[in-house]
Amino acid sequence: MNKQNTPDRLTRGEAAIRKAFRRSLLVIALLLVASALIYQFIRQPEPPPAVTEARIEAPSAVTETATAQPPTVHFTDISEDAGIHFNHVNGAYGERLMPETIGSGAAFLDYDNDGDQDLFLVNFRHWPDHPGDNTPTQALYRNDGSGHFEDVSRESGLDIEEYGMGVAVGDYDADGWVDLFLSSLKKNRLFRNQQGQFREVTDQAGVGGRQDLWSTGAAFIDYDRDGDLDLFVTNYVNWTRKSDLEIDFRLAGLGRAYGAPNHFTGTDNYLYRNDGNGRFSDVSRTAGIQVHDPVSGLPVGKGLGIIALDYDRDGWLDLAVANDTARNFLFRNQGDGSFEELGGFEGVAYDRKGKATGGMGIDAAHYRNDRDIGIVIGNFANEMSSLFVTVDGKPPFADEAVTEGLGPASRLALTFGVLFLDYDLDGHLDLLQANGHLEHEINRVQASQHYAQPAQLFWNCGENCPAHFVAVKDPGDLSRPMVGRAAAYADIDNDGDLDILISQNGRRAMLFRNDQRLGHHWLRIKLVGKAPNHNAIGARVELTAGGMTQTRDVMPTRSFLSQMELPLTFGLGEHDRIDTLRINWPDGSSQSLTTVNIDTTTTIIQPGAEP
């Protein structure tokens, strides 16, 4: 060390500077420590972790009493590969207007009569004062027969901008080409299919409804058995943007939220009788399908899902409507052009505690392969799905969701589309539910809820299990979280099994291919009825094989705002022949066949009908 630098050789000035510097270091250090302490005390809490759309594990049934387990069947999302590039627009821009949450429906239909199932997807649109940067339209996809689709919206004339909700498909003018009815938040629209080109005929037909009435489900059915297809339309709530904003619905814990239907009054349904010549008459008022509260006089209905069924086996098609936060309707067809509403009396109006649930999608089937019919309704979150079943083949119905394995497993999910379908072709109708919430941030206030939710597939165990339905733990891509709304099925690739379409609100539609390889036999049947109901809507087919009789109805309107393909699919399991096939045609006549090839699609023409 250089002696010249030892401390006692420093100048006083240097010493002072050093001392000052040491002091300043100390001050800095103290300041830093103080600052750190202050910062530690007063800093904002870290923001809560971002909500991740974690996969909900559907709760396993508390009672594992099933003695058989679902076969391994996966559904694969082939949307992109299949050419389905459809994104639903819900118009949301921040004010949380109720119509943004509901849409939209989907339809499988053979619009070009080439024998395969094409796909129509309903779209909403941007609100006028928030135009967005694209122009969303309805979409029609043509199937090339192998499950690949091409967007033909423009060339078909269906690239329409509309506040689309649901769709109904039916050949109302009996020209051999299925037509299309689009329900809307505003005026509804009817498009006549002219050999693959759709032309709007709403005003001429007289089925536009009111501009200010929010229509949802729709069904072409022959309610008066005069042979042609009439139109039933259900409407939701009495909504205006002004009232929605005025009510300013808020969820504690979230702030401004989407309004609930119980904040709005109900609406009436429409029934249009087909008068022929392309025109309909509005017979709603006299048909008994408008239900009013006896005290307030206000309409009760807040309709979403529709199913037509002959629940009392009198030969006349009845109608069941799933209402959201209002009692469900069951309109019994009296055979004289009018209906009587009997939901309460027949046991389908409420859940088992007498509560009106948030009913959305609906389907009906003889899922036990006996005379009993089951009506399934998808309900709101923290409400079990309803499964109303007749007893000994006759009404009234009882809600058997709990004992049939569906109730507990469905309770948490918010269910829209529901469908009976035999996905594994074993001869028993299974059950699919499309789920998804309304609120993006619901998880912040209800830990058990998520915006996107996986679909649920329930395998029908038949008589081997105390409860018919067993939740399928791994159905492949169906278990991805989705903001599910419509669920629709069709055999898009002509391999005999049913593929599934699930629409999403504000997201892309998803097409799932059924990849079952169980080797089960099957039969698909396409019916051709007498004019004017060429597609035999309303026909019932009973197939008996191996001592078991399965029943299917030609009724494309099912689920949520959607339409299924017209052909009927029967799974035969291990049975390699059919004992009998009985067709009950819509006009009341019937036909029995014993020689029918299996593992194929068969067209059966009603005697006297033109092929």
Partner 1 sequence: MKPQSFPSPALLLIGLLMFALPLPLPADALSRPPATWQDRLQAVPETDVSGTERIAREAITGTRDRLAELLQSGTDDNKNLAEGYGELAALYQLFNIDSAAALCWENARTLQPADFRWTYYAGYLALNGGETEKALELFQQARKLNPDYRPLDLRMGQLWLDTDQLDKAHAALQKAANESGLRAAALYYLGQIDLLRHDYQGAQAHLSEALRINPQASEVHYPLAQAYRQLGKQELAREHLARFKQQTPDADDPLVAELETVLQTSHWDFRLGMQAIMEQRDYDAAIEHFKKGLEIDPDNLAARVSYARALYLGGQADAAEEQLQRVLTRDPQQVLANFFLAVLWESRDKPEEAAARYQRILKLEPEHEGAHFYLANLLYHQRRFREAASQYRAALTASSEIPPARLLELVALHRAGDADRDIARQLEQRVRAYPDQSELKYALIRLRALSGDAEVRDSFKALTLANELAPNQPTPPNIEALALAAACDGQYQQAARLQQQVIGMVKWMLPAEKLQALETTLAAYEKDSMPQQPVWPADDPLLSPLPLNPVEPFRDYPAAVPF
| Residue 33 interacting with partner 1 (CB under 8 A) | no
Q: What's the half-sphere exposure (Cβ side, CA atoms, 13 Å) at 137?
A: 13
Nearer to partner 1, 13 or 519 (CB): 13
For the chain, the C-alpha Rg in angstroms (whole number) is 29
| Binding span for partner 1 by CB under 8 A among 67-75, 183-191, 377-385, 566-574 | 377-385
Nearer to partner 1, 267 or 559 (CB): 267
DSSP symbol at 505: T
Binders in 437-456 for partner 1, by CB under 8 A: 443-448
C-alpha span between 584 and 70 (Å, rounded):
32
Burial 367-397 (b: 16+ CB within 10 A, else e): bbbeebbbbbbbbbbebbbbbbbbeeeebeb
Binders in 243-272 for partner 1, by CB under 8 A: 243, 246-255, 257, 265
| Tokens standing for residue 176 | 């051999």
The correct pick among 29, 37, 38, 51 for binding partner 1 (CB under 8 A) is: 38
Binders in 349-368 for partner 1, by CB under 8 A: 350, 352-355
| Residue 93 interacting with partner 1 (CB under 8 A) | no
| Residue 292 interacting with partner 1 (CB under 8 A) | no
Shortest separation between residue 109's beta carbon and partner 1, angstroms: 32
DSSP helix/strand/coil, 262: helix
- Give which of 389, 453, 459 is closest to 421, Cα–Cα: 459
The one-letter amino acid code at 365 reads: A
C-alpha span between 484 and 418 (Å, rounded):
11
Nearer to partner 1, 81 or 293 (CB): 293
C-alpha span between 93 and 350 (Å, rounded):
35
Binders in 204-233 for partner 1, by CB under 8 A: 210-212
Backbone phi and psi for residue 81, each to the nearest 5 degrees, phi listed first: -60, -35
| Residue 412 interacting with partner 1 (CB under 8 A) | yes
Binders in 455-514 for partner 1, by CB under 8 A: 467
Beta carbons of 305 and 360 less than 8 angstroms apart: yes
Binders in 156-185 for partner 1, by CB under 8 A: none
Shortest separation between residue 247's beta carbon and partner 1, angstroms: 5
| Residue 605 interacting with partner 1 (CB under 8 A) | no
The correct pick among 157, 337, 344, 532 for binding partner 1 (CB under 8 A) is: 344
Nearer to partner 1, 57 or 133 (CB): 57
DSSP symbol at 444: G
Shortest separation between residue 282's beta carbon and partner 1, angstroms: 8
Number of residues that bind partner 1 (CB under 8 A): 73
| Residue 241 interacting with partner 1 (CB under 8 A) | no
Shortest separation between residue 31's beta carbon and partner 1, angstroms: 5
Cis amide bond preceding 104, omega within 30: yes
| Binding span for partner 1 by CB under 8 A among 34-42, 68-76, 129-137, 565-573 | 34-42
| Residue 295 interacting with partner 1 (CB under 8 A) | yes
Shortest separation between residue 294's beta carbon and partner 1, angstroms: 10
- Runs of H (alpha helix) within 427-501: none
C-alpha span between 180 and 443 (Å, rounded):
38
Block residue for tokens 């029918």 = 596
DSSP symbol at 428: S
